[in-house]
Amino acid sequence: MIWKIVLFLLIAFVSIAGITFPIVAKPEHWYEFPLIMGLGENAKIIFFHVPTAWLTVIAFLMSTVYSIKYLRNKDLVDDIKAHSAAQLGMVFCILATITGAVWAKFAWGSYWSWDPRQTSIFALLLIYGALFALRSAVEVEEKRAALSAVYSIIAFVTVPFFIFIMPRIMRGLHPGSADDTNAGTVVNFKMNGNMQLIFFLSLIGFTILYYWMWYVGYKSMLYKEKLNKQYH
Amino acid sequence: MSSFELQAENVSKVFGRRLIFKDVNFSCKNNGIYGISGPNGSGKSTFLKIITGIISPTKGKVIHYFDGKIIESEDLHNYIGFVAPYVILYDEFTAVENIHFFSKIRGINFTQEKLDFLFQHFGIFDRKNDLVKGYSSGMKQRLKFIFALIHSPKILFFDEPTSNLDNSGKEKVYQTVKEESQNNIVIIASNEDSDLAICSSVLELQDYKI
Amino acid sequence: MSSYALFKKDLASELRTRYAINSLVMFIVVTISVILFSIGNEKISDFLSGGLFWVVIFFSAMSGLSRAFVSEEERGTTLTLQLIASPTTIFSGKLLFNLILVFAMNIVIALLYSALFEAFVIKNLSLFLYAFILGNIGIAIASTLIASIIAKASSKGTLYPVLSFPILLPLMLTLIDLTKQAMDTTTFSSSYVELAILGCYDVVMIAVSFMLFDFIWKD
């Protein structure tokens, strides 16, 4: 119970601080954020957009790890864990894509411009979509678990190729990417202490939130399975 | 004589939420005829597929020994002959082509005499160069026995071996089973009394349907 | 050797039934003519024609390459294959068949395409050839593996491109980039990394395929 209250306070603080703390050219008070050239007020998205993108990746990683575990032990609980992670990953992936696109409209002038990270998140969206399409097309539980586990592993090994090829083909627009001449590397850091603090608090808060959601999701799927078994 | 041994310990299979069978023990050695029976849906075919290594059991294990050594699952297929209604041969090839391709893929050689003998034995020699597409179900069944015997397997699995066969076909099958059982293991899954009559022991699968 | 025998079986079966070849040839014709119609009398840029080349290849591959496993599943002969060969043999036999099919198909596409599209001029032919060969191998491996997955699922036809696209995407992006480079310059120096990426993709995919195929193939 206690950690739920802590989580609530953490997320509440991050949300309020992230939105209301003013951005000024020369921060003097502890609650003022520095102005980052070329970003302005837009910079505040970092507290919400980056955690969603981060969780998309974490969920994908977790889903792959549980997929490998499933193929090793053939325990359907691992499949449920992987599936629950993938479901959340899909949700965060959509959130990251939308928040990113809206932000890009104001910062870069268009919703979509195939920046390397936009392309990566798009590829992840496709992978998640394919995974769910595959799951709905296989009836037998064991077969469904095995095939989706295999598919997530195949998808996982393609990710490094994206990381290598993308920056060579497309120009990076994201703050912090190698081609970004405007702001320099944001995370390296035009942020000052308080901004970093809130950024990392937000990251931690969202990660705990994700873990909690994942846990509830997989437990509820497990109970659903058990109930179904009883009435059959 | 070389020895072949099959051991299945506490084999259980669950399909999704449905229990097919539980803790089945089965073993056989060297030679002889063994039967498996049980009502429809009791999992006879599933059990056969599990002990041939085609599908894996939910619990328990199946081990094959040849000359006291465990056979790896990669090599198991060449020790096994299998006849079943769900074994399907290629329609677009002739009977002889089917057997030729299968033997090449297995990586084994056979003599022309053996091939001719088997075709003669099962009474489809005259039509061995016809496309399987044009075969009747009884002739397909006869061809499946050739498919199962051509590589001289150590253990034979016959699932409903006499289905679709006329009386002379059934006689051929029983004769084959008896000949093969001199040196090899023959396992028959069936509900026909005449099939089970030639078995030295019969494993009854329980029905778990409610 | 047994995988070569399986390949010969598939080839003989294909020549007799023409499961894949007929629809594949028609698909190539249809895709190219759709592109030609949509271009009309417009002049398209060189780079666009280089990209569209791989679009034709992707969709043609999606129409024909799934047959390798789907045809066995539809005829019910999967079990028969399981009885006569190990998973490794099956996968390498099917892969060999798809490799030949991909190369034949893509050579036909390349010839047709360069005859029909004036903008499609390759300056650095050897660079394009390296990319073409490594790319074809990658397409064959990935699509054979995905074909084995979708053969076990329902709604196979629509599922195939959906599952293949994310897996083939890094390969396709690299190939499109390399084609641009081959149309642009005659030097190699800037393309080594891309070629290395293609080579790595092929190696990684083949390793993953042989590791995971057992889980797909066995029920």
ipTM of the modeled complex: 0.91
- Cβ proximity of C94 and C139 under 8 Å: no
Q: Token match 């995974």: residue?
A: A131
CA distance B123 to B139: 9
Please tell me which residue, A207 or B38, carries the higher pLDDT value: A207
- Before A189, cis peptide (omega within 30)? yes
Q: Which domain holds residue C155?
A: 2-217
Best mutation target among B54, B78, B105 (most C Cβ atoms within 10 Å) is B105
H-run or E-run covering C100: helix C87-116
- How many residues belong to chain A? 232
The structure tokens listed for C167 are: 């897996």
pLDDT level of residue C130 (50, 70, 90 thresholds): very high
CA distance B49 to B63: 13
pLDDT surpassing 70 at residue A101? yes
pLDDT at residue B161, rounded to an integer: 87
Residue numbers of B between 104 and 163 with CB closer than 8 Å to C: 104-107
pLDDT surpassing 60 at residue A180? no
Q: Which residues of B touch A141 (CB under 8 A)?
A: 16
Q: Does B16 touch chain C (CB under 8 A)?
A: no
Average pLDDT over residues B179-192: 88
Q: Is this prediction's pTM over 0.80? A: yes
Q: Does C193 touch chain A (CB under 8 A)?
A: yes
Give the lowest-confidence range in A152-156, A228-232, C150-154.
A228-232
Number of domains in chain C: 1
The structure tokens listed for A208 are: 């705990």
DSSP-derived secondary structure letter, B150: T
Domain limits, chain B: 4-204
B35 DSSP β-pair partners? B188, B202
pLDDT level of residue A183 (50, 70, 90 thresholds): very low
Closest chain B CA to residue A145:
B16
CB neighbours (10 Å) of residue B147?
24
Q: Which residues of C touch A114 (CB under 8 A)?
A: none
pLDDT at residue B209, rounded to an integer: 56
Task: Reply yes or no on domain B4-204 having CATH 3.40.640.10.
Answer: no
pLDDT in tens, B102-140: 998 988 887 888 889 888 988 888 888 888 888 899 999
DSSP string, A9-44: HHHHHHHHHHHHSPEESS--STTPEEPPTTTGGGGG
Best mutation target among A134, A139, A153 (most C Cβ atoms within 10 Å) is A134
pLDDT in tens, C183-208: 887 777 778 888 999 999 999 999 99
